Structure 1
Amino acid sequence: MKKVKIGSTDLEVAPINLGGNVFGWTLDKDASFKILDAFVDKGFNFIDTADMYSYWVDGGEGGQSETILGEWMKARGNRSDVIMATKVGGETGTHPVDTSKKHILETVDKSLQRLQTDYIDLYYTHFDDNKTPIEETLEAYDEIIKAGKVRYIAASNVSPERLEESFVVAEKNGLPKYQALQPHYNLLERKGYETDYAPLAEKYNLTVFPYWSLASGFLTGKYRSEDDLNKSVRGGSVKKYLNDKGLGVIKALDQVAEKHNTTQATVSLAWLLAQPNLGAPIASATSERQLETLFNAPELQLDSEDLELLDKASSY
């Protein structure tokens, strides 16, 4: 399987990034292990989680996902074979959004303990508090990189202005630079990324790993009316897509999926993989059947007719 190099790092990842938000939420430990085993058995190696997952289960500080991943890596003895990404700064039930040096230095050690490892491959600014000086945040990352706790850093929910400023500050002060970007990007959410972030990804050689790649499941095609919203715990979050545009995108996905004898989810991910600077879409799975739709995406080569149809249906 062809691997993707992250930014200017020495990290190489397979072109699907397994989302860890379901571990400890909709999947218990045993079910999580089965999904993880099946994922790596197919040659994939990139897993995404966050310190805050899954705080919404009990209103605590989170960490359930990291804990399960740590137990899995220890049980399988495969830490060196996995590229592990986690995040800092997000709001939990007990702590607000925080990118201060104090919070980062405290939180990275908690993540390392839960993951049962001594290093994190890719460490994201999950959310930006928009008040901590950028230099302070980058100095914290510099400290934990020099300590060997983190290999490289990346950014998720950081404004275009603060993201660009971070490169200026890093260059001026000899501080670490973000190597990847994790934006909200999919067939139904194009404008924000393509207008504000795609130029920065190109300018700063950021490898892009979109989250909500399947629009909370809407792009699988299983939600076509309000009656379908009770099909999963995430159903309520896709109600906003039940409009002319959303259903038009589903129609286009149906057409391309039928042409290639595949699923709408696979087509949605393949469309992302065809975009510039895209490294690996992030998608979670709660069954081996769902995993298959992820595995098939890198194998699906959409032609110009497919891309034109999908681009037109999802245009803004």
Structure 2
Amino acid sequence: MPQLLPLRLRDAAARRAAAGAQSAGEQSTGAQPADVTGVGEQATPDEILAASIGVETAALPQLDPALERTGPLSIIAPRRIGESELAVYPLSLGASVFGWTADGDTSLRILDRFASLGGNFIDTADSYVGGRSEVLIGKWMRERGNREHVVLATKVGRHHENPGLGSVSIVRAVEASLERLQTDHIDLLYFHDDDPDVPLEDSLATAEWLIESGKVRYLAASNFSADRLIEARILSATGLPKFIAVQTQYNLMHRTEFESALRIVASAQGLAVMPYYALANGFLTGKYRSKDDLNADARSIRAAAYVNRRGQRVLAALDRVAAEHESTPASVAIAWLLAKRNVVAPVASASRPEQVDALMVAAGIRLTRAQMLELDRVSE
């Protein structure tokens, strides 16, 4: 794999090369552009980090180099989840609010709106509202008769009745989820959290049995460290199932955790990245611009951490870019995630059906290189 500079460094190198060529009076139209993809003799921070964690991979560009168009896409191409056969619309509907901030009827209408706009990827967990989220999704799929058109992801490990990743807990949790979801299989099963008290080999072996029995199609990890993902991949060499995706908190207000060893390992292993809290608990919608906008609910309390100078800079940039695309801050915030390498489908939730539209149109927005760099800069 060729060694690549981070995009901002490559652009800077290109500008320096262009300036040097101009000062030297190079006027030939047949001159080839300078090669700015090599790292030269100086190792980049990504290369140093990759070496330090034992991953043989190139330093990764921050953005897709094809991002130059500003017009919306008329057709949204599905994205494949890692090495699987699962192809999804590039937005995963988070169901953590179902049965909580969205009551039963509202949850069904949110799902209807999502499906009507082309969505097919639903993200839930056995612990969301004590399983109520899964119950509502199961009811919706049964009443609409659309299970075959849905890519269903759920997580195990946090439910109070089946905690952790021990073999018995995993099997009981999956059986309970299947019953609540009214289906015979889960398309993508996440280990919700790492469980240091259980050998990872045992958890993977249990997942292998579930896959062989047809109850689970593919396996993924949520909130796993880079080191544990490396360990899991080593274990997969013995025949145990591979993780095909990783879910982690990642958004314009929360970048450092992912943009380090985890990003490099995810890329090296070909993992699909599914960022959760894609809208930073609603802050990136622009709903919370001052302390006067905050209230006592759980989402507002979490968003309060971003109501500061940095948050205001990010919202101002989102407003500018959204105006250029005649869109909304929420759509642009998700479009920024979708422009990042290895991100397949950010997870975002809606408490009302009309909120779904802004989430879905994000997949059709193509931010320019300048817009991406501005958002990167203000959110650093």
TM-score (norm 1): 0.94
Match of 2:207 in 1: 141
Q: Write out per-residue CA displacement over residues 241-261 of structure 1, whole angstroms, 9 at most, x where no aligned residue.
A: 112211111111111111111
Cα deviation, residue 97, structure 1:
4.7
Partners of 2:229 and 2:99 in 1: how far apart? 31
Counterpart contact for 1:86–1:124, Cα < 8 Å = yes
* TM-fit CA distance, 1:206: 0.4
- Which of 188, 211, 223 is the aligned partner of 1:122? 188
Q: Describe the superposition over 1:142-183 as per-residue Cα deviations: whole angstroms up to 9, x where unpaired.
A: 010001000000001112211110110111x20100001111
Letter in 2 for 1:45: N
Other-structure match for 1:235: 300
Residue in 2 aligned with 1:308? 373
- Which string of whole-angstrom CA distances, capped at 9 and with x for unpartnered residues, describes residues 278-305 of structure 1? 1011000122321111111011110011
Specify which of 301, 316, 320 is matched with residue 251 of structure 1.
316
Residue 123 of structure 2, aligned match among 48, 55, 77 = 48
Q: Supply the AA of the counterpart residue of 1:119.
A: H
Do the aligned residues in 1 keep the contact of 2:162 with 2:173 (CA within 8 Å)? Answer: no
Aligned residues: 305
> Which of residues 145, 155, 158 is equivalent to 1:87?
155
Q: 1:25 aligns with which of 61, 83, 100?
A: 100
Quick check: which one's helix share is greater?
Answer: 1
Tell me, yes or no, if structure 1 residue 165 matches structure 2 residue 231.
yes
Q: Give the secondary-structure state (helix, strand or coil) at the position aligned to 1:277.
A: coil
Residues 1:69 and 2:137 aligned together: yes
More deviation, 109-118/236-245: 236-245
Q: Report deviation, 1:201.
A: 1.2
* Distance in structure 2 (CA, Å) of the matches to 1:236 and 1:278: 27
| 1-structure distance, mates of 2:150, 2:224 | 26
Q: Which residue of 1 aligns with 2:52?
A: none
Aligned counterparts of 2:334 and 2:265: Cα–Cα separation in 1: 22
C-alpha separation in 2, matches of 1:262 and 1:161: 39
Aligned 8 A contact 2:163 2:169 in 1: no
Q: Does 1:111 align with 2:186?
A: no
Specify which of 256, 259, 262 is matched with residue 197 of structure 1.
262
Give 1:57's aligned residue: none
Q: 1:217 matched to which residue of 2?
A: 282
Cα separation, 2, equivalents of 1:79 and 1:288: 20
Structure 2 residue ranges without an equivalent (≥5): 1-75
Backbone CA RMSD of aligned residues: 1.2
Q: Distance in 1 between matches of 2:219 and 2:94?
A: 18
CA distance in 2 between counterparts of 1:247 and 1:96 reads: 42
- For the pair shown, the structure with the greater C-alpha radius of gyration is 2
Equivalent position to 1:182, from 222, 226, 247? 247
d(CA) in 2 for partners of 1:103, 1:279: 29
1:137 Cα deviation from its structure 2 partner? 0.5
Which is worse superposed, 243-252 or 43-52? 243-252
CA drift of 1:196 comes to 2.3
Q: Which amino acid in structure 2 is aligned with residue 38 of structure 1?
A: R
- In the superposition, the TM-score normalised over structure 2's length comes to 0.78
Instruction: Show the counterpart of 1:260.
Output: 325
Partner of 2:41: none
Residue 285, structure 1, aligned to residue 360, structure 2: no
Larger RCO: Structure 1 or Structure 2 (Cα < 8 Å, ≥ 6 residues apart)?
2
C-alpha distance 216-292 of structure 1, shift in aligned 2 (>3 A): same
- Which stretches of structure 1, 4 residues or longer, exceed 2 Å deviation after superposition? 94-97
